[in-house]
């Protein structure tokens, strides 16, 4: 009997438990091989454990003393704002820990409807719908809206959640080169045969800190009869004169059809996402968006925190205005020291290093000097474009920023990333 036949026959006579253990052993071998490959490539991602609340000053397990945090999406510093925390506690007391249900069964409370109305008012749209996260909002939108008769045109560097959401839909898919308006126009011409054409882009791109040219995108969309969708996760709350986002920053709020964004970054930092746009679209999503229909409602405490964060933002734009000066201070000092900082004028400030192992080692040495930053490498960013992504918060002081720059210079010289 040939070898393959012998083992097949032996396995057929083996007890089911033995075959099951053999399959688990095979799986473990495959997984260990994959994990070892990640370690060998220098792209292993360790999780540091924070033992305090989120903020510019934190405590990290295993590290003595306070740490300056420069890698959170806590753009406005509201994740630990006393009024935001109090609003969450009040919602918890009044509405309970959770709904134990999805929205359309018995999981919609008055605070959910109130927050949706507030979001729509903030973005100057007709209606809004809440999701457990913006990843879910992006997963729910394209499949519910677009059919095989339609087309979606996506920037090649869009967030993974947009890419995955587009994969779920049956529309014709076009990918245009990053921020390349000539390529987008060529794709729009090619897509004219389809019923609906939807241009999908991040407003601010989270890895490079660059901003979509929405004026040009909206002009092309109007010229070729397309709709515009913008993911504003890294813009809502702090870009634009009143923090409405990139569409306000670039003066095209009335030309962007659909906005998706998050409550988990500038707006309280907890969780939750949303879609805001035309009323009929939001109504359709309530009927067809699978992450909405089959996920539990947002917990009341999260809703309360986000609602208060929006209140604070709409009452005053003082926090928003402080962001630009602090961002410029960091960028200017780092570039003067000899570092290359990607993007422009966004509080995401990627310190470009190229080598994955260098980014990881420098981030580790920054922590030893009391600065919490993280190295980003493949597959989060393309190979050869590893970086340490620094994120400025409105609650960082000028002294915090200067201390971070000083540590970067010291570590950069140690690792020969600077002369």
Contacts of 396 (CB under 8 A, 6+ apart): 56, 68, 70, 326
- Give the active site residue among 159, 194, 265, 346: 265
pLDDT at 317: 79
pTM of the model as a whole: 0.90
pLDDT tens per residue across span 164-211: 999 999 999 999 999 999 999 999 999 999 999 999 999 999 998 999
Contact assessment for residue 176 and residue 191, using Cβ atoms and an 8 Å cutoff: no
| Token pair for 134 | 């913006």
Q: Tell the residue number behind the tokens 């059809």, with chain if given.
A: 257
416 is a catalytic site residue: no
Mind listing the domains of the chain with CATH numbers? 44-73+317-415 (3.90.1150.10), 82-315 (3.40.640.10)
Q: Which of 206, 307, 342, 377 is catalytic?
A: 206
Residue 219, Cβ density class (10 Å: 0-12 exposed, 13-18 middle, ≥19 buried): middle
Which of the residues 234, 346, 385, 396 is marked catalytic?
234
Q: How many CA atoms lie within 13 A of 145 on its CB side?
A: 27
For 353, the enclosing helix (H) or strand (E) is strand 348-354
Least confidently predicted of 225-229, 333-337, 382-386: 382-386
Q: Report whether 412 contacts 382 (CB < 8 A).
A: no
pLDDT of res. 14: 56
State how far the Cα of 317 lies from the Cα of 313, in Å rounded to an integer. Answer: 6
Burial class for 34, CB neighbours closer than 10 Å (0-12, 13-18, 19+): exposed
222 is catalytic: no
Strand 172-176 and strand 151-155: the pairing is: parallel
User: Could you tell me where the beta strands, DSSP code E, fall in 106-257?
Assistant: 127-131, 151-155, 172-176, 197-202, 227-231
Q: What are 282-296's pLDDT values in tens digits?
A: 999 999 999 999 999
Residue 384: both structure tokens together: 């050869």
Check if the beta carbon of residue 202 is closer than 8 Å to that of residue 348: no
Residue pair 50/60 in contact (Cβ under 8 Å)? The answer is yes
Question: Confidence class of residue 9 from pLDDT cuts 50, 70 and 90?
Answer: low
pLDDT tens digits for range 21-48 = 899 999 999 999 999 998 888 778 888 8
Residues 6+ apart with CB under 8 A from 334: 341, 349, 351, 405, 408
How far, rounded to the nearest angstrom, does the alpha carbon of residue 174 sit from its chain's CA centroid? 22
Catalytic residue check, 206? yes
Return the minimum-mean-pLDDT range out of 3-7, 38-42, 362-366: 3-7
- Residue 7's pLDDT band (boundaries 50, 70, 90)? very low
């Amino acid at each position: 009997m040939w070898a393959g036949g012998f083992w097949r026959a032996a396995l057929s006579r083996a007890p089911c438990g033995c075959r099951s253990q053999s399959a688990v052993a095979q799986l473990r071998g495959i997984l260990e091989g994959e994990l070892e490959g990640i370690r060998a490539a220098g792209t292993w991602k360790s999780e540091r454990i924070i033992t305090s609340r989120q903020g510019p000053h934190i405590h990290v397990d295993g590290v003595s003393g306070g740490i300056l945090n420069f890698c959170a999406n806590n753009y406005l510093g509201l994740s630990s704002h006393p009024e935001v925390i109090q609003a969450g506690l009040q919602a918890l007391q009044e509405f309970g820990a959770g709904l134990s249900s999805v929205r359309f069964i018995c999981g919609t409370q008055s605070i959910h409807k109130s927050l949706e109305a507030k979001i729509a008012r903030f973005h100057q749209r007709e209606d809004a719908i809440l999701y457990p996260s913006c990843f879910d909002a992006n997963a729910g939108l394209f499949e519910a809206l677009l059919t095989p008769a339609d087309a979606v045109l996506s920037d090649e560097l869009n967030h993974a959640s947009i890419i995955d959401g587009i994969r779920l839909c049956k529309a014709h898919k076009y990918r245009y080169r990053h921020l390349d308006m000539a390529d987008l126009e060529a794709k729009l011409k090619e897509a004219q045969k389809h019923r609906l054409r939807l241009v999908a882009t991040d407003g601010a791109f989270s890895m490079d800190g660059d901003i979509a040219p929405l004026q040009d995108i909206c002009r092309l969309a109007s010229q070729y009869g397309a709709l515009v969708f913008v993911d504003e996760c890294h813009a809502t709350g702090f870009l634009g004169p009143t923090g409405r986002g990139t569409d306000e920053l670039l003066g095209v709020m009335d030309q962007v059809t659909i906005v998706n964004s998050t409550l988990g970054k500038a707006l309280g930092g907890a969780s939750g996402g949303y879609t805001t746009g035309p009323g009929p679209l939001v109504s359709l999503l309530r009927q067809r968006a699978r992450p909405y229909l089959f996920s539990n409602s947002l917990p009341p405490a999260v809703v309360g925190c986000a609602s208060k964060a929006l209140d604070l933002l709409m009452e005053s734009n003082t926090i928003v205005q402080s962001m630009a000066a602090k961002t410029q201070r960091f960028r200017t000092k780092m570039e003067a020291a000899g570092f290359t900082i990607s993007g422009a004028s966004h509080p995401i400030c990627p310190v470009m290093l190229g080598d994955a192992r260098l980014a990881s080692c420098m981030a580790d040495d920054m922590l030893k000097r009391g600065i919490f930053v993280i190295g980003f490498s493949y597959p989060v960013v393309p190979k050869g474009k590893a970086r340490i992504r620094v994120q400025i918060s409105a609650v960082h002081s000028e002294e915090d920023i200067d201390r971070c720059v000083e540590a970067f210079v010291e570590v950069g010289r140690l690792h020969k990333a600077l002369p």
